[in-house]
Amino acid sequence: MLQADGHEVKEAHDGQQGVDMAAAERFDLILMDISMPVLDGRSATRHIRQGSGASRNARIVALTANVMPSEREDFLAQGMNGVLTKPLRKSDLRTVLGHQEATAPTETSVLIDHAHNAETYEVIGAENYPKLLARYSAEAETFIEWLQGDARLDRNDIADEAHKIAGNAALFGATAFRDTLVLIERSAKAGEDAAVMAAIATLPDIWKRSKKALAEVPPKE
């Protein structure tokens, strides 16, 4: 998306490589993935800010699949200038780059964010979209079966798996399903077992309705 808008892009494959690149070259903007090998996004940002490299004062924007209000505050405290959720929307990216005005977010959680879904369809193409949606549907249903199959699941495993599934839910604009997965992840990390079980109980119905909505309202070509 950045290259299509005429920007020059350089990619780091892990956090340490990102720190090294930022030390050697002045970047206008650093999109910092929070989950990276070697150094995570928080650590990489601290290294950049505390160093004397060329990009010490560059804008750094966090990239993460899921973000809670407390985590957003932590990202800013670590020296980041903003947060973008994955998968990236072209409109959000352009807002960060200053190409268009930001729109006020809505507080209403809907089943499907049709604008985001249509953007995903445009990016991955008519041929690949149904294949990826079918693959994700299978992953989501396997995850739900896994959650329902054993009451002794480890909290960390639940949080990790919910995080992965939530990221792909966002890709297809499955807002309500993603929100429930984020709640499961957050509650599992906090050790709130009752909240985890309550959210898990609602997940099958939310997924059933989300899947039906995705099938009934295909993106316009």
The model's pLDDT over 149-158, given as tens digits with 9 standing for 90+, comes to 866 889 999 9
Using the predicted structure, report yes or no on whether residue 13 has a pLDDT greater than 90. Answer: yes
Report the distance separating Cα 67 and Cα 128, nearest Å.
28
Report the distance separating Cα 183 and Cα 211, nearest Å.
19
Other CB atoms within 10 Å distance of the CB of residue 60: 24
Among residues 10, 6, 34, the alpha carbon closest in space to that of 22 is found at 10
Among residues 149, 160, 148, the alpha carbon closest in space to that of 186 is found at 160
The model's pLDDT over 54-89, given as tens digits with 9 standing for 90+, comes to 998 888 888 887 666 667 777 877 788 888 887 777
Query: 């956090």: which residue's tokens?
Result: 15
Using the predicted structure, report yes or no on whether residue 109 has a pLDDT greater than 50. Answer: no
C-beta pairs of 82-89 under 8 Å, 24+ apart in sequence: 84/31, 85/170, 86/167, 86/170, 87/120, 87/167, 87/170, 87/171, 88/1, 88/63, 89/116, 89/119
